[in-house]
Chains A and B, each alone.
Chain A
Amino acid sequence: MNHIFFFYFAAVIAGTSVLVVALRNPVYSALALLIMFFHVAGLYVTLHAEFLAAVQIVVYAGAILVLYLFVVMLLSIRSEERYHNQLPVAGLLGVTLCTEVLLLLIQSRTAPSAPGRSVEAAAETGNTEMIGEALYSTYLFPFEVASLILLVAMIGAIILAKKDIIETTE
């Protein structure tokens, strides 16, 4: 049963990720990415990361992709005529790296032994609760740094996108 779900999600993720790169119209690329985000969320559910699945849908599909679509519509982009002329180089690089990954995975069949820690804890407390405890105790400082990153990104986006903010201040 797990395998069926995994192969369904993996097939859709792989197919839509190829479509994101291959489709000429950026709106279609963004919509293919939307389908991929939903299936990645499904994959998270099969991996027992339910909270992350919800966050994936809310943040990626709800916020980030809508922002992309806004910009695509705002700039009224025509669909692309041709690919970049780096296509042979990119194809060679992609095929080489793909075969390397596959060879490495085939050679190293011995899986590392999983330390069986906090399986019972995961069962009795919820997934969200565990993430919250780790986030606000062990990873408190990175959490605050992340909020600072968001603040800087917000100010930077306003400064970059606003038209005459520099002329009016000078």
Chain B
Amino acid sequence: MTVPLSYYLVLSGFVFLTGVVGVLIRRNIIVILLSVELMLNATNINFVAFSQYFHQVAGQVFVFFALTVAAAEVAVGLAIIIALHRTNSSIYIDDLNLLKR
């Protein structure tokens, strides 16, 4: 009695879209990065579900690469946030309109 693949797809689609909406509606850069983490996790759920479904281990290997990219993104993203906070003393994207002025 296994769970059908489409259930996992619905779950990961929902989590991914929550991440998309979070990137669009939040003003805090840290929460925007957290929403990007949500999207990466949604793709990881898809990878593992397909890996189990097709009995291929390649999907799980790709989760490792997604994890590496997530770690790199967090390190660089948080460093950028700290640099922004130092120069701008704000991490709200409404205040970061230097190129628009």
Contact = CB atoms under 8 A, between A and B. Distances in A.
Contacts of A105: 6, 9-10
Interface string B13-39: 111011111101111101101110110
Contacts of B96: none
Nearest to A3: B3
Contact of A47 (B27, B31, B48): B48
Interface residues of A, number: 85
A152 B71 CA distance: 12
B30 A72 contact: yes
Given A26-B30, A55-B64, A98-B13, A21 B74 contact: no
A37 B41 contact: yes
Kindly name the residue among A20, A122, A130, A163 whose own CB sees the greatest number of chain B CB atoms within 10 A: A20
Instruction: Label chain A's interface by main secondary structure.
Output: helix
A46 to B, nearest CB: 8
A55 B65 CA distance: 12
Contacts of A13: 11, 15
Interface in A17-54: 17-18, 20-21, 26, 29-30, 33, 36-37, 40, 43-44, 46-49, 51-52
Interface string A126-170: 010011011100110010001001101110111111010000000
Interface string B61-87: 101110111111111101111110110
A93 B23 CA distance: 12
Contacts of B82: 71, 74-75, 160-161
Interface residues of B, number: 71
A10 B81 contact: no
A18 B57 CA distance: 30
Given A71-B82, A153-B71, A153-B75, A47 B49 contact: yes
Given A90-B20, A111-B5, 7 more contacts: A21-B21, A30-B34, A49-B48, A60-B70, A71-B82, A72-B30, A80-B27
Interface of B: 1-7, 9-11, 13-15, 17-22, 24-28, 30-31, 33-35, 37-38, 41, 44-45, 48-49, 51-58, 60-61, 63-65, 67-76, 78-83, 85-86, 91-94
- What 10 A-B pairs come out closest when comparing CB atoms? A153-B72, A90-B24, A21-B22, A160-B79, A161-B79, A157-B79, A101-B13, A157-B75, A146-B68, A94-B21
Interface of A: 1-3, 6, 10, 13-14, 17-18, 20-21, 26, 29-30, 33, 36-37, 40, 43-44, 46-49, 51-52, 55-56, 59-60, 63-64, 67-68, 71-72, 74-75, 77, 80, 82-84, 86-87, 89-91, 93-94, 97-98, 101-102, 105, 111, 114-119, 122, 127, 130-131, 133-135, 138-139, 142, 146, 149-150, 152-154, 156-161, 163
